[in-house]
Structure 1
Amino acid sequence: MAKNTIATSHNAAKKKILTNVEYTRICQFINGYHGGLAIDCELEMVNRFFVDVEPLALICILQSEMFNKHRGQHWRLEQRSKKLLQTYEEQCHLYNDNALLIRMASLENISPIALCRILLQEKYDLTQRSHVYRLLKHPHLIQDPRLAANVQQCLYSDNQEGPLTDLRRRIIGEEYEVKLKTLAKEVGIHFYDEQDLRRMGYDKTPDIKMIFPFLYKDSVVNWIESKANFGDPRSHKKNIQQQLQSYCNRFGPGIIIYWFGYHEDTPNLADNNIGITVLTDFPAREDLVFMQLTEGVK
């Protein structure tokens, strides 16, 4: 009996649509978390405190909250760069390991990569971001071997920023774009993708633009945008301003899919009234109505 209960719990669907209470509780946990890195916070949320919520939704909410939290810290870090470098160089003689920067980042409540960036800028007098990024991407190029080893360890321990994190997010985004196109083809939708549209001269393009519009629950759909993300109201409004409004103006109504879920208020925002439907998955086949073309018409 116990084994069956465990199996049922393990296979139960995770929540992807969060109420305001649930979303607020998650954000409060993130902003009140101390004594570890963001990756530690992620593991605590996924494995202990919010086990009924889609893990990728939790990861996305964490990313958003960490970005807002650290956005205003950069100038403060730069003001303390000399002191931080001095602290590192004093302590690296005391600790013969490669986790010193991780411990410093945890104590300072900042991301490991942000700390690495500040120290590299200060130590090597780097003024161009591209030069710093090159050292972060290729730590073996750092002249100080101890610092190089510490930076490499930070790359593996930072789930918020850095070359590895950027690569992971890009791969996940591309994976879900492929999923969107595959599901669209399976139900018989004919579409142009981004590359097709750019060859036709469009600059801002949705992931797929229908060749023939279809109906989803009596709403016309001309395009679908894929987001491997969680749709909270703030980020959704930003997506409307930066992308979706231009799609509606140019192509008409469409769908945005937040594959990892959304806040319960997101689909009901007044901003969506320009022709935006918000979903967490590809539309069910039974909800789609396609244009019937007369045979023999070219």
Structure 2
Amino acid sequence: MALSRNKAEKSKPMKKKILTNVEYTQICHFINEFCGDGLPIDCELNMANRIFNDIEPLALVCILQSQLFYKARGQHWRHENRAELLLKIYDDQCHLYDDSDLLIRMACAESINPISMCRFLLQEKYYMGQRPLISQLLKHPYLINDSRLAANVQQCLYSDNQEGPITDLRRRMIGEEYELKLKQLANAAGIFFYDERDLRRMGYDKTPDIKVILPFLYKGHIVNWIESKANFGDPKSHKWNIQQQLLSYCNRFGPGIIIYWFGYHEETPLLPDNNIGITILADFPDREHLDLMLSPQL
């Protein structure tokens, strides 16, 4: 059974991870059209199962996340200023329905994530200016003393794939899974390295996921570190990663590799920003392209 399952998995066509500008633009256009009056979680399902089923599903998830993040950041102030009106709409309508989907319908009508809708209403209703207090109510809706509102918030938790404690936990677990995968593949390839915990004990603050002890060559390029990103590398996100992390890695340790496990935009490796010593991949380097320095025999 195990052998037949492995053969079946190998026979499956590989999903695309490196996207052309045309493909990326089509995906972004679909997201902006769909999320104008629909839930992001439904948008994700439609893209993965129907519209773009030849593309890596987790790449679609990441592109959706990025697009909605930039959109929400630009409109946050507008929704926050309307929090009082939104709460009034909810209070006026909540007794007209027996279900717990009112906040979700309002979120669709306002083109806002369900959890963001909850956050604005809770902040307005309970006069909470501190984000940790609101986050506690979102994490534990049973603490909300209005049972109808609590049921609506709980429904939003299950229906939002962009924000909230469930989504945060999922992203953290995926990130840790791929960091572990990086270490396992590096060990299997015979690469000696320090991980983040080792580097922090040595006094470093900003640290890559692995710092190579014995530098190696990848297609003739020196590699001193590898960074794992359980994400999709579009040009804008990649430039942000350079500013926040990769530039300091290059300055401190020299050239290295960043792996976007879910793929990247075709223009990302061509950015002049990478000339500081950054190589972009969508998977762990093939063993045939590695030239490792042998450890000295004692």
Which TM-score bucket, shorter chain as reference? over 0.9
- The number of equivalent residue pairs is 290
Deviations 1:88-139 (A, max 9, x none): 1111110011111111111111100010001000111111111111100111
**TM-score normalised according to structure 2 size:** 0.95
Q: What is the DSSP-based 3-state SS (H/G/I as helix, E as strand, rest coil) of the residue aligned with 1:189?
A: coil
Residue from 94, 103, 111 that aligns with 1:101: 103
Aligned equivalents of 1:146, 1:235: Cα separation in 2: 39
Tell me, yes or no, if structure 1 residue 17 matches structure 2 residue 13: no
Q: What is the DSSP-based 3-state SS (H/G/I as helix, E as strand, rest coil) of the residue aligned with 2:125?
A: helix
> 1:68 aligns to what?
70
Aligned-pair CA distance for 1:293:
3.6
Deviations 1:160-218 (A, max 9, x none): 11111111101100000000000000111110000000000000000000110011111
Aligned equivalents of 1:96, 1:90: Cα separation in 2: 14
Aligned-pair CA distance for 1:268:
1.3
Residue from 121, 126, 136 that aligns with 2:128: 126
> 1:226 aligns to what?
228
Q: What is the DSSP-based 3-state SS (H/G/I as helix, E as strand, rest coil) of the residue aligned with 1:127?
A: coil
Deviations 1:5-45 (A, max 9, x none): xx89x921100000011101111111122331111111111
Q: CA RMSD in A?
A: 1.4
The one-letter amino acid of 1:249's match is N
Q: Give unmatched runs, 5+ long, in structure 2.
A: 1-7
Aligned equivalents of 1:277, 1:98: Cα separation in 2: 49
Aligned equivalents of 1:135, 1:172: Cα separation in 2: 25
> 2:50 aligns to what?
48
> 2:246 aligns to what?
244
Q: Give unmatched runs, 5+ long, in structure 1.
A: 1-6
1:86-165 equivalent positions in 2, closer than 5 A: 86-165=88-167
Q: Among the aligned pairs, what percent are the same residue?
A: 71
**TM-score normalised according to structure 1 size:** 0.95
> 2:178 aligns to what?
176
> 2:5 aligns to what?
none
Q: What is the DSSP-based 3-state SS (H/G/I as helix, E as strand, rest coil) of the residue aligned with 2:96?
A: coil
- After TM superposition, which residue ranges in structure 1, 4 or more long, deviate above 6 angstroms? none
> 1:28 aligns to what?
29
Tell me, yes or no, if structure 1 residue 81 matches structure 2 residue 83: yes
Aligned equivalents of 2:99, 2:294: Cα separation in 1: 68
Aligned equivalents of 1:70, 1:120: Cα separation in 2: 18
